[in-house]
Amino acid sequence: MENKDNLRINLVYSFFALLFVVIGIRIFYLQILQNPFLKNLASRQYYRLVPLEGRRGDIFDRTGKVLATGMNSYSVFADPVMVKDAGKTAGILAANLSLPAGEIYRKLAKNKKGRFVWIKRKVSWFDKERIKKINLKGIGFIREEKRFYPQEMLASSVLGIVDVDNKGLEGMEVFYDNYLRGKNGIVRVLQDSHCREIIVSPQVITPQEGSDIVLTIDAQLQYWVENYLAETVRKFAASAGSVVVMDATTGEILSLANYPAFDPNSIDAASAKYLKNRAVCDMFEPGSVFKIVTLIAALDTKRYGETDTFFCENGLFKIPGATLHDWKPYGTLSFREVFKKSSNIGVGKIANGVGKEFIYSYIKKLRFGEKTGIDLPGEEDGSVKPLERWSKTTPYMVPIGQEVGVNILQLVRAIAVVANGGYLVKPHLLKSISGQNIYKDSESVKEYVLPPSTVEKAKDILISVVADGTGKLAAVDGIRIGGKTGTAQKFDFQLGRYSPSRYRANFVGFIDYSTVPLAMGITIDEPQKSHFGGVVAASLFKQIAQKCVKYLDGRSAFAKNEVKKDFSVVVAE
């Protein structure tokens, strides 16, 4: 009996000894061997790494008006592992966020092994608070910055847009994205089982703000230019239009406008074609505005001048492979009258007298066929055929603005040479960049290309074009304005010839303002109620010129050295 009791006692001891050994092994396994895994599991359940977005830099106009900035918004995310009922949660979120329930359900159901999925980015505070009150398990919020354009559609084609992560996609936003974009940081957050943040760890990688940039654009001038352009496009039932106003001496762009435009605050509602910056992306045959090249070439080579006359064949002139027409039948015209009346036949004879080699060299001297180098994405080179590819017809067609492709900015740069005394400037939109570790002002880049004697003669003739020539609708009393009209037939590729009904109305000119000489280019695409550049574009030039001079007389907008943040909106008058 005693032996049996001892055996039982030994069995119990042995059992407990074995149990303690098993527990010890299990403790060793969990505490030592599985320690890294379990710590990581606990950390993932209760700690979350939250990105801290680096604030994107602001964009100002030259007077301090805020054109682009940031505003607080909230992004909704989910921890799929903690979501108990994916279908019910998806239905509630869909009703409050205007999203398809199926789309949300797929995000929750397919990510059960993941701990983070975006539901919707950049929602309002009101949307966030409404969902927060429902207290959905596994749903959380992160505060993010949303790009905001306080002037709405103003200068939208210049500013461009950003994506949901505040990365630049178009315009200045993408061109200077490396400066504007901040660097993100990270913070470690302790959360409870409902994803509510209860402790913010001191373990923070501080985000860095992006740099601010100041543009050469003047918001007030931009406002007037955009409104006058829109009125003109609608008045003449045109399809589109562009205007560029530039300081002729520095290349600073004071206004660059396109119509139709878009609202960068409502980018989802904008048509993709409106995002295109036509002033730099549209290449077209310029028509008679290109006659300024022949004018400059004839004067600079001294092949022709004021004393020369040309018989303009009463409106019809047979050339190799084609016939030149004038819009009116002219007889004999003086050198000045050829350009005042915009005679195709007269310009064709002058160009051929100068010689195609010289005409081509002056086209290249004024950098047609090359990008201007403006700080905007998508600029077209233009199109200038190499001299060896010129046909027998080309020497007559190129001087009148056919068989050559330009953008309106290239034309503005060319007319600026006349306005500023012979310098080819580089158009630019950036005035300065300032940030935590950077400050720099942009520099004006210009190249001497024509002697003052040549440009003064050309200037005088172009002023007479406006005074009593084809550009007289651009004239403003008391202001010296010069320029050249252009009415360009558009080539119809289906017909294989120039269209009898589709035109582009152009005007390029300058305001001979004593302190800030301005160069301006206008192009109106396919106007219906009148197609003449001297009617459609020249009249718009006058409206803008009047505003510009009146505004510049105050000089306050150009005298400021320090830019102060100004959220006020531009005014109509």
SS3 content of the chain, % helix, strand, coil (to 5): 40, 25, 30
Separation between Cα atoms, residue 345 and residue 319, nearest integer Å: 10
Peptide linkage before 320 cis (omega within 30 of 0): no
Nearest to 359 by CA among 457, 460, 448, 291: 291
The closest alpha carbon to 286, from 384, 372, 358, 362, belongs to 384
Query: N- to C-terminal Cα distance for the chain?
Result: 117
Annotated catalytic residue within 255, 288, 342, 343: 288
Q: Which of 365, 456, 376 is nearest to 413 (CA)?
A: 365
Please say if 444 is a catalytic residue: no
Pairwise CA distance, residues 412 & 9, whole Å:
107
Alpha helices by DSSP H, 47-196: 86-97, 101-109, 125-134, 156-159, 171-175, 177-180
Question: Which tokens belong to 207?
Answer: 């985000």
3-state secondary structure of 246: strand
304: which residues sit within 8 A by CB, 6+ positions away? 298, 335, 350, 353, 354
- Can you tell me the distance from the alpha carbon of 138 to that of 159, in angstroms, rounded to the nearest whole number? 38
CB-count burial class (<10 Å; 0-12, 13-18, 19+) for 126? exposed
Task: Check: CB of residue 156 under 8 Å from CB of residue 262.
Answer: yes
CB atoms near residue 58 (< 10 Å): 18
Give the Cβ contact number of residue 319 at 10 Å: 16
Q: Can you read off the two tokens belonging to residue 82? A: 């903690």
DSSP string, 24-41: HHHHHIIIIISHHHHHHH
b/e code 79-103 from CB counts within 10 Å (16+ = b): bbebbeebeebbebbbebeebebee
Catalytic residues: 288
